[in-house]
């Protein structure tokens, strides 16, 4: 929030697996579409929040595997952990709040007892007899997790609830993806974590002008109960979430089921609710015919690198006109600045770029930008900082740009 001068124009709160990230899309096309849209139009005045069932450990693994943008806030472990920014600074007030009437030791002991007590239902015994726990990274201070097959889920949840109620603990049980059973403090889930953040925003006078929540499974349901938000169940949403919505939000016009999968469904919802631009720069094939009413150095940098990607993949004609389009946005005497401090004149970069035409032809080569930030450093110049990722690594660069009002959009 510190990087914004006022209330966010838009806050997107999205689940990751099979919502933002499509694991059936090996080229990550929908995610890359979203990335370009966010960095071109929203990063400078909006908030990106990930809300995932993953623990910090496997969330970081996913970021190493997929082209995920850096969020402003990360809600993890089914709403039991909140962290801020790139360094992921924990919210200790939220942790203290969840400690009320929560005893993790009793919960783990009770599940162990269920395995040993043959008087319990056979189904509970089947669940716990082998301590069928996910890996240790997924057992968190305020989350106890198990694998559970769907055919037995209702009976197991009922028996476990009755068992834990005897200890007068304030807990809730969430079942999602047809396999994951999570025991959490009663005051914790993705929705209550978001409501907590909204209270903080209100206290600081920074309530987002619009908020969009996005999910695909049962552990996302509580996101859709938060007041004053738009919601999208992505096109591949699971039956458990669709049924919850049918029972609890049937007449809510602010919640939709998109026809597009994953991140493409999020883009679709932005347009459906008219809360901002929803044409990803990746979807623009002919920049010469495109007239986008945006005066933004961030937009120009995203556009430049999309053209550069197509140039190297030989998906555009090798012509002086294309080269001129690639060069037109930037100050002729400007420089690239590498994180190491190495500077390279724009003129040298242009020569190198011409030589690289088609060197990635036929390859799954892509470029995406992250954390695009801008500052005006003169009456006709801007400084743009960002992380530039390729399919083979990351480079952080700094551009000096003309005043955007002089850009040929």
- Give the pLDDT confidence score for residue 112 in this predicted structure: 59
Question: Across residues 255-261, what is the average pLDDT?
Answer: 98
Q: What are phi and psi of 132, to 5 degrees?
A: -70, 70
- Give the pLDDT confidence score for residue 201 in this predicted structure: 95
Length of the chain (residues): 409
CA angle 142, 144, 148 (to 5 degrees): 150
Question: Across residues 75-84, what is the average pLDDT?
Answer: 93
- Give the pLDDT confidence score for residue 402 in this predicted structure: 42
With cut-offs at 50, 70 and 90, classify the pLDDT of residue 394: low
Measured from the Cβ of residue 63, the count of other Cβ atoms closer than 10 Å reads: 16
Q: Please give the structure tokens belonging to residue 225.
A: 């109960």
- Give the pLDDT confidence score for residue 111 in this predicted structure: 63
Judged against a pLDDT cut of 70, whether residue 129 lies above it is answered with no
With cut-offs at 50, 70 and 90, classify the pLDDT of residue 133: very low
Judged against a pLDDT cut of 70, whether residue 123 lies above it is answered with no
- Give the pLDDT confidence score for residue 342 in this predicted structure: 81
Judged against a pLDDT cut of 70, whether residue 363 lies above it is answered with yes
Quick check: 23 and 236 in contact, CB under 8 A?
A: no
With cut-offs at 50, 70 and 90, classify the pLDDT of residue 145: confident
Question: Across residues 66-81, what is the average pLDDT?
Answer: 94
Quick check: 184 and 151 in contact, CB under 8 A?
A: no
- Write a three-state SS string for 41-107: HHCCCCEEEEECCCCHHHHHHHHHHCCCCCCCEEEECCCCEEEECCCCEECHHHHHHHCCCCCHHHH
The model's pTM: 0.85
Class of 284-402 in CATH? alpha beta
Q: Please give the structure tokens belonging to residue 137.
A: 């990274």
Distance, in Å, from the CA atom of 73 to the CA atom of 142, rounded to the nearest integer, reads: 19
Q: Please give the structure tokens belonging to residue 182.
A: 């999570």
Please classify residue 207 by burial: count the beta carbons closer than 10 Å to its beta carbon, then call 0-12 exposed, 13-18 middle and 19+ buried: middle
Distance, in Å, from the CA atom of 369 to the CA atom of 392, rounded to the nearest integer, reads: 13
Q: What is the pLDDT of residues 167-209, one digit of tens each?
A: 767 787 777 767 777 888 888 889 999 999 999 999 999 999 9
Of 350, 345, 349, give the one whose Cα is nearest residue 334. Answer: 345
Judged against a pLDDT cut of 80, whether residue 384 lies above it is answered with yes
- Give the pLDDT confidence score for residue 361 in this predicted structure: 93
Judged against a pLDDT cut of 80, whether residue 341 lies above it is answered with no
- Give the pLDDT confidence score for residue 110 in this predicted structure: 67
Which sign, positive or negative, has the C-alpha torsion 9, 15, 16, 20? negative
Judged against a pLDDT cut of 70, whether residue 70 lies above it is answered with yes
Mean pLDDT of the chain: 83
List the single range of 37-51, 103-117, 120-134, 337-351 with lowest mean pLDDT.
Answer: 120-134
Ranges 25-29, 93-97, 233-237, 402-406, most confident: 233-237
Judged against a pLDDT cut of 70, whether residue 55 lies above it is answered with yes
Ranges 33-42, 298-307, 316-325, 350-359, most confident: 33-42
Q: What are phi and psi of 243, to 5 degrees?
A: -70, -40
With cut-offs at 50, 70 and 90, classify the pLDDT of residue 340: confident
Which single residue is written with the structure tokens 């953040």? 197
Q: Which CATH number fits domain 102-185: 3.90.1070.10, 2.60.120.10, 3.40.50.300, 1.10.3720.10?
A: 3.90.1070.10
Quick check: 233 and 216 in contact, CB under 8 A?
A: yes
- Give the pLDDT confidence score for residue 403 in this predicted structure: 41
Of 248, 252, 269, 271, give the one whose Cα is nearest residue 260. Answer: 269
Domain map (residue ranges) of the chain: 10-92+189-281, 102-185, 284-402
Ranges 236-245, 314-323, 334-343, most confident: 236-245
- CB pairs under 8 A, 24+ apart, for 199-205? 201/1, 201/7, 204/1, 205/7
Judged against a pLDDT cut of 90, whether residue 7 lies above it is answered with yes
Q: Which residues of 210-232 are buried (b: 16+ CB within 10 A; e: fewer)?
A: bbbbbbbbbbbbbbbbbeebbbb
Distance, in Å, from the CA atom of 283 to the CA atom of 368, rounded to the nearest integer, reads: 14
List the single range of 21-25, 264-268, 302-306 with lowest mean pLDDT.
Answer: 302-306
Cβ-Cβ contacts under 8 Å for 69 (sequence gap 6 or more): 35, 38, 39, 48, 368, 370, 371
Q: Does domain 10-92+189-281 have CATH number 3.40.50.1000?
A: yes
Quick check: 381 and 401 in contact, CB under 8 A?
A: yes
Q: What is the pLDDT of residues 281-309, one digit of tens each?
A: 999 987 666 666 666 888 888 988 998 89
Judged against a pLDDT cut of 60, whether residue 134 lies above it is answered with no
């Amino acid at each position: 929030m510190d990087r914004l001068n006022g209330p966010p124009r838009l806050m997107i709160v999205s689940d990751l697996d099979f919502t933002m990230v499509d694991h059936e899309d090996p080229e990550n096309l929908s995610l890359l579409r979203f990335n370009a849209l966010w960095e071109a139009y929203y990063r400078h005045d909006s908030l990106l929040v990930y809300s995932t069932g993953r623990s910090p450990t496997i969330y970081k693994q996913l970021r190493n595997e997929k082209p995920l943008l850096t969020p402003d806030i990360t809600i993890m472990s089914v709403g039991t952990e909140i962290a801020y920014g790139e360094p992921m600074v924990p919210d200790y007030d939220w942790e203290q709040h969840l400690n009320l009437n929560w005893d993790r030791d009793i919960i783990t002991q009770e599940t162990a007892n269920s395995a040993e007590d043959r008087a319990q239902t056979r189904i509970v015994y089947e669940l716990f007899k082998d301590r069928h726990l996910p890996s240790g990274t997924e057992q968190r201070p305020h989350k106890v997790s198990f694998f559970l097959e769907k055919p037995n889920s209702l009976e197991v949840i009922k028996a476990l609830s009755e068992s834990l109620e005897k200890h007068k603990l304030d807990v809730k049980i969430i079942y999602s993806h047809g396999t994951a059973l999570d025991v959490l403090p009663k005051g914790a889930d993705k929705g209550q974590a978001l409501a907590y953040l909204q209270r903080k925003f209100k206290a600081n006078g920074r309530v987002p002008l619009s908020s969009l929540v996005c999910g695909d499974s049962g552990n996302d349901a509580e996101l859709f109960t938060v007041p004053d938000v738009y919601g999208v169940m992505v096109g591949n949403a699971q039956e458990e979430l669709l049924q919850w919505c049918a029972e609890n939000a049937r007449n809510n016009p602010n919640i939709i089921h998109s026809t597009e999968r994953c991140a493409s469904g999020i883009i679709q919802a932005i347009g459906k609710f008219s809360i901002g631009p929803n044409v990803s720069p990746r979807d623009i094939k002919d920049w010469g015919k495109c007239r986008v009413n945006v005066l933004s150095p961030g937009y120009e940098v995203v556009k430049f690198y999309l053209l550069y990607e197509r140039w190297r993949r030989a998906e555009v004609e090798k012509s002086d006109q294309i080269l001129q389009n690639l060069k037109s946005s930037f100050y002729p005497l400007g420089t690239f600045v590498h994180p190491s401090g190495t500077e390279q004149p724009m003129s040298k970069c242009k020569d190198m770029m011409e030589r690289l035409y088609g060197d990635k032809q036929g390859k799954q080569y892509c470029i995406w930008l992250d954390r695009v930030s801008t500052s005006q450093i003169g009456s006709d110049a801007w400084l743009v900082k960002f992380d530039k990722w390729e399919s083979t690594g990351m480079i952080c660069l700094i551009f000096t740009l003309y005043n955007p009002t002089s850009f040929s959009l």
